[in-house]
A and B are shown apart, each in its own frame.
Chain A
Amino acid sequence: MIVEHDIVIVGGGPAGMAAAVAAYDSGVTDVVILDREPGLGGILRQCIHNGFGLHKLGRELTGPEYADAYLKEVEARGIKIYTETTVTAVSPDRVVTARNREGILKIQAGAVVLAMGCRERSRGALNISGTRPAGVYSAGTAQKLINCEGYMVGKTVVILGSGDIGLIMARRMTFEGAKVEAVCEVMPYSGGLIRNIEQCLNDFDIPLYLSTTVVEIHGKKRVEGVTIAEVDEKRRVKEETKRYIPCDTLLLSVGLIPENELTRSAGIPIDPITNGALVDENRETAVPGIFACGNVLQVHDLVDYVSDEAEIAGLGAANFVRGSKSEGASVETVPGNGVRYVLPQRVHTETGKDTALFMRVTQPFGKVRFTVKSGDEVLATAVRLKAAPGEMEKIVVKGDKLAMAKAPITVSLEVVK
């Protein structure tokens, strides 16, 4: 049996919940959220540290509190929630197939919002040589074991990767009595927020070794140590810098991969840089009526921006159900000098609405000026005192300027002296 719902949201983390609330509030009230976990909130449930919500909610919250703020909004609207329900397929004509203890669920959706989030890159992706002992965890797995289930994962720790989860876990492990010997980062700069280096490493005198990686894992049953080494600018190991650090645990914080299996199976084209769907300014993918938002679309640094993006997608989905989607000409957006990607990858130019472009830079810069151009027409400029790959940039193009874009929109930066 196929049931029908106006909007089906795949994933009940921060993106899914914000999209559901936004869709409901714009007038499409037949919204359902499907999530494979026992409760909504996604990864926020294990992120017990503070620092969430300053932008979006105007107060500083922990992860569970931020999730709860949105869950209350979802529940207040009577939005239907299916937990412990795993979506197994999304078809291009918007039939969502899921399974749970009751059996198989098939829903014909008016519109679908993909909000599956991401998962962690694992040891297998890194080609680290050595044995395969217990004690190698992805940082997020360790975070869940410690914070949600109460299992301590080790006593002496080396962390590979200085993304935010790795930094947060350095402090968390220290709080739980472990000794964090080192955080190694293969790049010459950290991918994490600078405030996290300050409050998670420097506060506890945990060393951060840049241009350094783990080259071998030692130990038979349990990790006994790792060999670390510096790398040159081409990431080749400098043999003479190899050194052994005894430890019983290695945490990997080496990147997040948007979880896009459902997206691909629906035939939705993926951007090879973001590893998320190609979308327009409403976060609609190339398959009509299927939208994407949050970390499944692009990996964000702040949940506040996930919520913002999800509201765009939720409203887009509601408008699609109402039959009022963006019409008229559209152009592609293209990353230029110093810019790694621009999202959305396509924008409609005749909507008259101000449109925000999001982007990441290719490397750390000092003061820069961003220029948004279409052909010879400058649509927007923005100056930033500093720019780093770990921090997403946002530039708003005014509606009247957007109307002048007849050729692909390029965003590039120049260093300002």
Chain B
Amino acid sequence: MKRELICIVCPRGCAMTVEGEKDNLTVVGNACPKGKQYAIDECTHPTRTVTSIVRVANRVDTMTSVKTEAPIPKEHIFDLLEKIRAIRVEAPVEAGTVVLPDVYGTNVVITKNVK
């Protein structure tokens, strides 16, 4: 197997090449160890940090934002978004508050304070 990848870990965006088989992958083109790990993950079990929004029920036209504390498997992004869409919070909300615990191995937390 040979695959060309663009690293998304940081804005540098290294162009990487991954070769080999599942348990024995070699990565070329990465500028840091995080890039190598991303390349291997991307070829074995790709993951993404998901960010979205949650409605603040007791405020007019006000949303707060959320993120997964850790990346989740890519194939579950849209399932997770459905779960997030159903959430309602009440102000005041504080960044860091868990609004959806233990989903796909991580938590969904608030990222924006609403007073």
- A positions within 8 Å CB-CB of B: 45, 48-51, 54-55, 60-62, 64-65, 68, 146-151, 175, 193-195, 197-199, 203, 301-302, 391
Instruction: Tell me the nearest residue of chain A to B34, going by C-beta.
Output: A54
Q: Which residue of A49, A61, A148, A199 contacts B63 across the interface (Cβ within 8 Å)? A: A148
Residues 47 to 72 of chain B near chain A (Cβ within 8 Å): 48-53, 55, 61-63, 65, 67
Q: Are A203 and B48 in contact (CB under 8 A)?
A: yes
Q: Are B13 and A193 in contact (CB under 8 A)?
A: yes
Residues 1 to 42 of chain B near chain A (Cβ within 8 Å): 5-11, 13, 15
B61 / chain A contacts, CB cutoff of 8 Å: 149-151
B74 / chain A contacts, CB cutoff of 8 Å: 203
Q: Are A48 and B55 in contact (CB under 8 A)?
A: no
> Contacts A62-B111, A149-B62, A197-B6; is A48 near B95 (CB within 8 Å)?
no
Residue among B7, B50, B81, B113 with the highest chain A CB neighbour number at 10 A? B113
Q: Are B53 and A147 in contact (CB under 8 A)?
A: yes
A54 / chain B contacts, CB cutoff of 8 Å: 10-11
B95 / chain A contacts, CB cutoff of 8 Å: 64-65, 68
Instruction: Tell me the nearest residue of chain A to B82, going by C-beta.
Output: A177
> Contacts A146-B53, A147-B65, A149-B61; is A194 near B6 (CB within 8 Å)?
yes
Q: Which residue of A60, A61, A175, A198 contacts B6 across the interface (Cβ within 8 Å)? A: A198
Q: How far is the CB of A175 from chain B (nearest CB, A)?
A: 6
Q: Are B62 and A48 in contact (CB under 8 A)?
A: no
Q: Are A198 and B8 in contact (CB under 8 A)?
A: yes
Whole-angstrom CA separation of A322 from B1 in the bound complex: 63
Q: How far is the CB of B6 from chain A (nearest CB, A)?
A: 4
> Contacts A49-B51, A150-B61; is A198 near B81 (CB within 8 Å)?
no
Whole-angstrom CA separation of A51 from B15 in the bound complex: 18
26 CB-based A-B contacts, threshold 8 Å: A48-B53, A50-B51, A54-B10, A54-B11, A62-B51, A64-B111, A65-B111, A68-B95, A68-B112, A68-B113, A148-B63, A149-B61, A149-B62, A150-B61, A150-B62, A150-B63, A175-B50, A175-B77, A175-B81, A194-B13, A195-B11, A197-B6, A198-B13, A199-B8, A199-B48, A203-B74
Whole-angstrom CA separation of A198 from B111 in the bound complex: 24
Q: Are A64 and B81 in contact (CB under 8 A)?
A: no
Q: How far is the CB of B91 from chain A (nearest CB, A)?
A: 13
Whole-angstrom CA separation of A9 from B17 in the bound complex: 47
Instruction: Tell me the nearest residue of chain B to A200, going by C-beta.
Output: B8
Q: Which residue of B10, B55, B67, B113 contacts A150 across the interface (Cβ within 8 Å)? A: B55
Whole-angstrom CA separation of A391 from B49 in the bound complex: 23
Q: Are A51 and B11 in contact (CB under 8 A)?
A: yes
